[in-house]
Chain A
Amino acid sequence: GENVEQHPSTLSVQEGDSAVIKCTYSDSASNYFPWYKQELGKRPQLIIDIRSNVGEKKDQRIAVTLNKTAKHFSLHITETQPEDSAVYFCAARAFISNFGNEKLTFGTGTRLTIIP
């Protein structure tokens, strides 16, 4: 089955600097890679996603890059702000049968702390 590794597990960044979180996946057939943000005590919420036919996607201060050959994808947050402090999860979607069954496998999370 799919295996998703996420690094680092914790990351502290000075406010205004950039943060990068990296994930690798094992199943070359995976084709959808979302990133979720979970604030303390809250539910995970999608912040950005990328599909396998695209190499990069940006949404204001957030960007995601995908390298299908190397099977890794990264989240980039620029000009970090205190409200960016949260746990971030990457995920990869793989198909597990010919009947359309699919599975979203999550990484173990990165706790990002923005230092004012």
Chain B
Amino acid sequence: EAQVTQNPRYLITVTGKKLTVTCSQNMNHEYMSWYRQDPGLGLRQIYYSMNVEVTDKGDVPEGYKVSRKEKRNFPLILESPSPNQTSLYFCASSPLGVQGFTDTQYFGPGTRLTVL
């Protein structure tokens, strides 16, 4: 089944304790992205990747890191989490069309992170 998976789905942690949220897709999509969703603010892009070893900042990259060593995986790393990073996180992937543009984004199930 074609899908985007994220792990963990729920995480409660404490300030300063490094964590990684994994994202994996089995659709051979070039484009992958991380969003955070907060009430009243919609979906805000954290980082995105147009292909392997190509990553770039979105609107709210501060406090986050990403890597894209393989096409299928795009982990989100919080080196020193803070309470303002408490949020619902979504990973998404999309194929690139013939002109190199993204198309439909397929979202993962989400990771609810609480930083105490």
Q: Which chain A residues have a beta carbon within 8 Å of chain B's beta carbons?
A: 1, 6, 9, 32, 34, 43-46, 49, 89, 93, 100-109
Contacts and interface: CB of A to CB of B under 8 A. Distances in A.
Given A44-B107, A101-B50, A101-B56, A108 B42 contact: yes
B41 A108 contact: yes
Contacts of B59: 1, 105
B8 to A, nearest CB: 15
Cβ-closest 6 pairs across A and B:
A108-B42, A43-B107, A106-B43, A106-B42, A100-B100, A46-B104
Interface in B60-96: 90
A1 B43 CA distance: 16
Main secondary structure, interface of A, reads strand
Interface of B: 33, 35, 40-45, 48, 50, 56, 58-59, 90, 100-102, 104-105, 107-110
B19 to A, nearest CB: 21
A1 to B, nearest CB: 8
Nearest to B54: A101
B48 A103 contact: yes
A43 B41 contact: no
A49 B107 contact: no
Contacts of B58: 103
